[in-house]
Amino acid sequence: MLPLFADPAAPSLPLHLVPEAGADGFFAARAPAEQAWRKAAGFTGGLGQLVLFPGADGSPTGAAFGLGTPQARQRGRFHLAEAAARLPEGDWHLAGDLGADEANEAALAWLLAGYRFDRYKTVRRPKARLKPPAGCDAARLRAIAGGEFLTRDLINTPAADMGPEELEGAARALAEEFGAGIETVTGEALLERNFPMIHAVGRASPRAPRLLDLRWGDRGPALTLVGKGVCFDTGGLNIKTGTLMGLMKKDMGGAATVLGLARMIMDLKLPLRLRVLIPAVENVISGNALKPKDILTSRKGLTVEVNDTDAEGRLVLADALALADEERPDLMISMATLTGAARTAVGPDLAPFYCDDEGFAAALAQAGGRVADPVWRMPFWTPYEAVIEPDIADLDNAPGFGFAGSITAALFLRRFVTESPRYAHFDIYGWQPTAAPGRPRGGVGQGARAVLEALPGVLGL
């Protein structure tokens, strides 16, 4: 289901956004009946409070939503999603003047509040509809929410129904919708086409590994997105415990996020040449599974000692990055649910990214703040390069350093991007552990809106 706004021409009820400090003043100018109802409801303007204004016949004539204090609002985002979920059915509009950034966040919050994962269960959706607020770009927000809904659906689908073949199907459906081309290299053809590490990670599964290669657009700068598509990760022979394995359907969150971002880009018809590369595999166990201490030769020619079969994401990404690098795109971005170290460092809410280009890094950070998509720059710390260099091969996929696991993983990936002028890597979580406004528990996109917002300035669109 794609997100929609209410018809701008339809009759609608006003929704007033009332900060805590302005609640008394707001109600002093309201009708006595509304003042009495406010008192009865205990409405103080606290963040998330909602009060309806009843008419003479008992039907609502409007509502007020509490914005709380600035300090309270800083502790979250998409607060208006709570109103969208709780208001009665009908068309609503935001009363009063909002700045452009405030209007866009409020409207996006409303759209995101409409998301429900309903593949396996009948769910109830919010029935209140919002007119696009003045100052917001309704078409852009619909495209953004549509991309986010795709990302969430892909992550939320269990591995039984979202293996490499099904992920390919989702990419093909997206390509067909927007007139993109797509090529797939599958199974033993990966060896013939020189993608040995994608093959090595995925060969143990009866669901054949593959590399998805989607292209769209024929003008403008070149942007390549690379997403980790490990559809389920047991850890391989370095098998995970049951607790750690429980969420591994989301290990294709990088692939889901780049597909969601690609959907936004194509829906908005950005003037660029887009390429999306997804190594889609399952990391499981059988007699031919990848073994600890195996040494692989990558597409780029670098040899890799496999010291942990549970550090498989960087292996499949490396072959895809090497392919992307051969074309020298103007900008390359990889996204992956890569390391637990990133979660330890910044938790589930922040999307850490690595980038050597100061201009792009600054643009990303600023863009994330504007569109309520928080990102945090981490260092490609070159002095740690020696940590990923074992005695027996060029690279080590899981050095026993004991520190900086996200950094050393990012440094590993950077070794495969040597020709392209700008590269950024996102080590995302892709999961909302507890429900929050506009973000139910489950799969969630991270970093995509920040990238989309930064692209025009960075690529000169």
Cβ(20)–Cβ(66) below 8 Å: yes
Question: Do 390 and 364 contact (CB within 8 A), yes or no?
Answer: no
Burial code (b: 16+ CB inside 10 Å, e: under 16) for 312-327 equals bbbbbbbbbbbbbbee
**Rg of the chain taking only CA atoms, in angstroms:** 24
* H or E segment and range at residue 227: strand 222-227
> Which of the residues 30, 140, 193, 240 is marked catalytic?
240
Rounded CA-CA distance 280/266 in Å is: 22
CA angle 85-447-199, nearest 5°? Answer: 115
Task: Report the alpha-carbon distance of residue 415 to residue 193 in Å, rounded.
Answer: 21
Catalytic residue, chosen from 314, 414, 422, 449, is: 314
Annotation marks residue 415 as catalytic: no
Number of C-alpha atoms within 13 angstroms, CB side, residue 271?
Answer: 7
Contacts of 318 (CB under 8 A, 6+ apart): 197, 298, 299, 300, 302, 304, 412, 413, 415, 416
- Residues paired with 223 in a beta bridge: 274, 331
Is residue 73 annotated as part of the catalytic site, yes or no?
Answer: no
Provide the annotated active-site residues: 240, 314
